[in-house]
């Protein structure tokens, strides 16, 4: 039997909105071994490091072109007092990280260390301030400490701690999950708090803060609506003023229940498909938030920010339940590919997203151990293969016919998902085959421009449970994909459970 064909039509001369590079953002929380043992080993470590930051981790991440890094949480952000994390490390107070494992936090990784990490990665800092247990003054002074030039109490303190020039901090979070760990507030109460805190987060000198209000969980559209009502000060005497420029929401792919999320590496076909259905549902969630925002902001001046997303499984057996350490299989990579296709389609409103989290926590790029081991996960490879979409112009991919959707307990799952973008004369296509047993031949019918040369890469394995370990670090790694050019069409074979990218130059 011949392989069924999926036809995909792309008009390469009809660009849509630009795919903001910040959709490829990251998240690093003081949680488990993300910071300590992941990024941070300390200057005295035997592992190669730059000022305490692990060299191999930075080198691996630099290949992803990480546009921004969110820190210090998550839930931790609303317990964090930044003054504890500056000055000589031996003098910094110890606190208890009550959210994550009830372990002691020695504050050795603080503001200066985070900013150094961002500089090493070439990433914009996204600092998440404390609303839940902090004060307006504390947040306002943190902004001053980081971004003010000249002379002021905070500037003097920064200089005394060894940093002369102000840093550039483009992104600022006003609390996190205010409906839960960030203070258990009701939407109206938080909206007022967000306005109050944002008022005192000043733009110092040239530094313009893009302030992000802590948004909804999943499809809590009422939360978004309340924030949209609160975003503008209509009664302000002078020009109406926007208190914040972005509103976030969080969406995790939890295929089971929160009590029983399922294992990262041991799963059956049903679990796999349920995961894909849950991942695909972010499309509905984004549409919902966007529709609410459109009603209040038709000109799309406020950005939607998904600053936590990714798979969330039961922790690996024998590990601290509060550390959220999980393995990462080809299934996770397919969730990432599917999310990016959806993010690209919503590029007009969705301007930023942050995977949770970069190292050793949840859907990580990198898994490390204390002996110096480092593993790149299948999800890492999706970020690397997709990086050409950053700041490219989106191109719609039409799939007019192809394999019938997969019936997952009454819900339809598209077998093939794809997205594309164009930067200059280079086009990048991403495509996934989500079937566990059917291959497809994908035939890209390109309109509005010819193909000169095409290069393909594919990420797959003999089973969706495949993952990388220190013993077998490349069980899931990209290899070359054979791409044929026939009559202006690009044709490639996608085996089951596969993610692929095809890049080609337009004939001019
Ligand atoms: O990413 C882990 C946690 O998930 C974050 O701290 C919190 O914001 C969310 O509930």
**CA 392 from chain center: how many Å?**
17
pTM to 2 decimal places: 0.97
The DSSP symbol for 348 reads T
Question: How far apart are the C-alpha atoms of 109 and 89, rounded to whole Å?
Answer: 9
Whether the CB of 503 sits within 6 Å of ligand 1:
no
Q: Closest Cα to residue 431, out of 353, 484, 493?
A: 493
Question: How far apart are the C-alpha atoms of 374 and 364, rounded to whole Å?
Answer: 12
pLDDT tens for residues 442-467?
999 999 998 989 999 999 999 999 99
pLDDT of residue 154: 98
Could you tell me the residue ranges of all domains in the chain?
5-13+394-507, 20-391
Q: How many Cβ atoms sit within 10 Å of the Cβ of residue 172?
A: 26
Whether the CB of 78 sits within 6 Å of ligand 1:
no
Q: Check: CB of residue 271 under 8 Å from CB of residue 313.
A: no
How large is the C-alpha radius of gyration of the chain? 23
pLDDT of residue 242: 87
pLDDT confidence bin for 239, thresholds 50/70/90: low
Kindly state the average pLDDT of the residues 242-261: 95
pLDDT of residue 188: 97
Which residue is closest in CA terms to ligand 1's atom 8? Answer: 74
pLDDT of residue 235: 66
Which residue is closest in CA terms to ligand 1's atom 3? Answer: 74
Q: Closest Cα to residue 65, out of 348, 336, 496, 386?
A: 386
- Which 3 state secondary structure label does DSSP give 306? strand
pLDDT of residue 31: 98
Q: Which atom of ligand 1 is nearest to the CA of 182?
A: 8
- Which of 90-94, 172-176, 321-325, 488-492 shows the lowest per-residue confidence on average (mean pLDDT)? 488-492
Q: Closest Cα to residue 359, out of 91, 185, 109, 44?
A: 109
Q: Check: CB of residue 213 under 8 Å from CB of residue 231.
A: yes
Question: How far apart are the C-alpha atoms of 53 and 120, rounded to whole Å?
Answer: 9
Determine phi and psi for 58, rounding to 5 degrees. -65, -45
Active site residue 90: no
Q: CATH number of the domain at 20-391, please?
A: 3.20.20.80
- Which 3 state secondary structure label does DSSP give 43? coil
Helix axis angle, 330-345 to 378-386, nearest 10°:
30
Does the bond joining 322 to the residue before it have cis omega, within 30 degrees of 0? no
pLDDT confidence bin for 359, thresholds 50/70/90: very high
pLDDT confidence bin for 233, thresholds 50/70/90: low
Tell me which long-range contacts 400-407 makes (C-beta under 8 A, separation of at least 24): 400/7, 400/9, 401/6, 401/7, 402/4, 402/5, 402/6, 402/7, 402/8, 402/440, 403/4, 403/6, 403/435, 403/438, 403/440, 406/273, 406/434, 406/435
Q: CATH number of the domain at 5-13+394-507, please?
A: 2.60.40.1180
If you measure from the C-alpha of residue 252 to the centroid of ligand 1, how many angstroms do you get, rounded to a whole number? Answer: 9
Chain mean pLDDT for the chain:
96
Question: How far apart are the C-alpha atoms of 52 and 410, rounded to whole Å?
Answer: 52
Q: Same fold for the domain at 5-13+394-507 and the one at 20-391?
A: no
Active site residue 239: no
Distances 178 to 195, 312, 366 between C-alpha atoms, Å: 13, 20, 29
For 294, the token pair is: 């459109």
pLDDT confidence bin for 402, thresholds 50/70/90: confident
Whether the CB of 356 sits within 6 Å of ligand 1:
yes
Greatest alpha-carbon span in the chain: 76
pLDDT of residue 187: 97
Kindly state the average pLDDT of the residues 385-413: 95
Question: How far apart are the C-alpha atoms of 42 and 279, rounded to whole Å?
Answer: 37
pLDDT confidence bin for 401, thresholds 50/70/90: confident
pLDDT confidence bin for 237, thresholds 50/70/90: low
**Best residue for ligand 1 mutational test, from 69, 71, 73 (most atoms within 8 Å of Cβ):** 73
pLDDT confidence bin for 3, thresholds 50/70/90: confident
pLDDT confidence bin for 355, thresholds 50/70/90: very high
Q: Answer with the residue of higher pLDDT: 239 or 397.
A: 397
pLDDT tens for residues 284-339?
999 999 999 999 998 999 999 999 999 999 999 999 999 999 999 999 999 999 99
Q: Residue 189: CB partners within 8 Å, gap ≥ 6?
A: none
Which residue is closest in CA terms to ligand 1's atom 4? Answer: 74
């Amino acid at each position: 039997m011949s392989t069924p064909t999926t036809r995909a039509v792309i008009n390469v001369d009809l660009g849509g909105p630009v795919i903001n590079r910040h959709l490829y953002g990251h998240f690093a929380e003081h949680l488990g071994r993300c910071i300590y043992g992941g990024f941070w080993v300390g200057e005295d470590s035997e592992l190669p490091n730059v000022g305490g930051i692990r060299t191999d981790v930075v080198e691996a991440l630099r290949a992803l072109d990480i546009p921004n890094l969110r820190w210090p949480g998550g839930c931790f952000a609303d317990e964090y007092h930044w003054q504890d994390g500056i000055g000589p490390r031996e003098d910094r107070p110890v606190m208890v990280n009550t959210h994550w494992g009830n372990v002691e936090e020695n504050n050795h990784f603080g503001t200066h260390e985070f900013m150094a990490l961002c500089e090493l990665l070439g990433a914009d800092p996204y600092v998440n301030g404390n609303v839940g247990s902090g004060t307006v003054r504390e947040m306002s002074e943190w902004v001053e400490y980081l971004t003010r030039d000249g002379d002021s109490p905070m500037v003097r303190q920064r200089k005394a701690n060894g940093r002369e020039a102000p840093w550039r901090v483009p992104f600022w979070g006003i609390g996190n999950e205010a409906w839960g760990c960030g203070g258990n507030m009701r939407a109206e109460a938080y909206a007022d708090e967000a306005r109050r805190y944002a008022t005192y987060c000043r733009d110092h000198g040239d530094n313009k803060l893009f302030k992000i209000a802590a948004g909804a969980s999943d499809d809590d559209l009422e939360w978004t609506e309340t924030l949209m009502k609160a975003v503008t000060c209509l009664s302000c005497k002078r020009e109406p003023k926007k208190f914040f420029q972005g509103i976030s929401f969080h969406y995790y792919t939890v295929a089971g229940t929160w009590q029983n999320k399922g294992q990262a590496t041991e799963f059956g076909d049903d679990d796999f498909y349920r995961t894909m259905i849950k991942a695909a549902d972010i499309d509905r969630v984004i549409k919902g938030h966007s529709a609410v925002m459109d009603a209040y902001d038709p000109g799309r001046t406020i950005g939607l920010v998904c600053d936590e997303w990714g798979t969330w499984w039961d922790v690996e057996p024998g590990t601290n339940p509060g550390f959220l350490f999980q393995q990462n299989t080809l299934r996770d990579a397919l969730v990432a590919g599917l999310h990016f296709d959806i993010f690209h389609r919503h590029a007009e409103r969705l301007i930023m997203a942050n995977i949770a989290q970069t190292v050793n926590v949840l859907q990580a790029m990198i898994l490390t151990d204390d002996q110096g081991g480092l593993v790149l996960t299948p999800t890492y490879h999706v970020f690397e293969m997709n990086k050409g979409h950053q700041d490219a112009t989106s191109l719609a991919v039409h799939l007019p016919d192809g394999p019938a959707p997969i019936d997952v307990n009454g819900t339809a799952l598209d077998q093939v998902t794809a997205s594309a973008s164009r930067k200059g004369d280079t086009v990048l296509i991403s495509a996934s085959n989500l079937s566990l047993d059917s291959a497809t031949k994908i035939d890209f019918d390109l309109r509005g421009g010819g193909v000169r040369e095409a290069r393909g890469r594919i990420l797959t394995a003999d089973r969706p449970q495949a993952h990388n370990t220190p013993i077998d670090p490349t069980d899931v790694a990209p290899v070359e994909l054979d791409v044929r050019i026939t009559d202006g069409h690009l044709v490639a074979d996608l085996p089951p459970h596969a993610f692929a990218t095809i890049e080609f130059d337009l004939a001019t």
